[in-house]
A = this chain, B = another copy of it.
Amino acid sequence: MSELKNDRFLRALMREPVDVTPVWMMRQAGRYLPEYRASRAKAGSFMDLCMNPEMACEVTLQPLDRYPSLDAAILFSDILTIPDAMGLGLYFETGEGPRFKKTVTTAADVDALPVVDTLKDLSYVTDAVTTIRKALNGRVPLIGFSGSPWTLATYMVEGGSSKDFRKAKALAYNNPSLMHALLDKLVLSVTNYLNEQIKAGAQAVQIFDSWGGALAHDAYVEFSLNPMKKIVDGLIREHEGRKVPVILFTKGGGQWLEPMAEAGADALGLDWTTPIANAKQRVGHQVALQGNMDPAMLYAKPDRIRQEVANILKGFGSGSGHVFNLGHGITPEVSPEHAKAFIESVHELSEPYHKGD
């Protein structure tokens, strides 16, 4: 593997000194980019794109080529590859979001689910990781990722997206041991999946807990945080002679940062509702923080975007331990010029905060 030329992102996650605050964007390889839309049109469906390592590599690199200030690449894939590999039959309906042909509702359904063997069932993902690492040639680190067990379970039980998670919550509340049996299989699958991504070349991993924030506090700890903790405990934490940082991101989890900081991850992702100064004060001595500009701020004029970046940098204040990001994925309607203003202003405005690093 070639030497890493820019390790700001990894250093900040380990709370080591950096020259400027590193930046990347969730969903940075996405529909807001015309070059992405062209690749997507060429590939066919969204899943065709995910399952073709060369194409996945192509779109992963697009934002890095357009925005040289980006400090990390993230594997282009979907959080629902695992339930798909378990045999549920993922498909996408236009304007409807992801759907599954089969759902999980009974003990027999859970028993029938295999634990994912990544190298056999999801080799297109590890192939993509290998291909991207080669293409990156040490430019920036590559982030691997997975959905959290609870997040994956909601899709598997509901059969797709949901507004109120009625079926998943009813199962969790009425039959917690069955929900735990499902979560346990997902913990094993996700652990294997992330470890194989690391072995293939992912230099950091992020667990996306998109729907943990829909739970009440106690239920969050039981059904979302504890399974993520088991995953973190089972991850390879050092590879190629370097730490492999783990980022845990629960959207809507701002009230629960203290228990999240105890989960063993190196960093917590923040959505935009949490003042980062407050988060740093609460858990900054334990973990790095990633975030957290409102993605809707990218609809504002570039000057306003820069001002918001300045506000968040000031909120975090001096020292390392901050990876700048949006508080959620960038949306398709954003102008690439606005994304540029965001990315560039992070390096431009953050230098004074690292004088003492």
Contacts and interface: CB of A to CB of B under 8 A. Distances in A.
B252 A166 contact: no
Contacts of A174: 299-301, 304
Interface string A315-338: 000000000000100010100000
B273 A217 contact: yes
A297 B230 CA distance: 26
A272 interface: yes
A260 to B, nearest CB: 13
Given A216-B273, A304-B174, A165 B254 contact: no
Contacts of A294: 169, 215-216, 219
A198 to B, nearest CB: 32
Contact of A311 (B218, B254, B299, B301): B218
Interface string A281-305: 0000000000001111101110010
Given A219-B294, A254-B255, A170 B300 contact: yes
Contacts of A275: 217-218, 255
A164 B331 contact: yes
Q: Is the interface of A mostly helix, strand, loop or mixed?
A: helix
Nearest to A257: B255
Contacts of A255: 254-255, 273-275, 278
A264 interface: no
Nearest to A163: B331
Nearest to A303: B174
A212 to B, nearest CB: 10
A213 interface: yes
A173 interface: yes
Interface string A204-219: 0000000001011111
B301 A164 contact: no
Contact of A296 (B170, B254, B308): B170
Shortest 6 CB-CB contacts between residues of A and residues of B: A173-B300, A170-B299, A169-B296, A217-B275, A216-B272, A216-B294
25 contacts: A164-B296, A165-B296, A166-B331, A169-B294, A170-B299, A170-B300, A173-B299, A173-B300, A173-B308, A174-B299, A215-B273, A215-B294, A216-B273, A217-B273, A217-B275, A217-B278, A218-B311, A219-B294, A220-B273, A254-B254, A254-B255, A255-B255, A255-B273, A255-B274, A255-B278
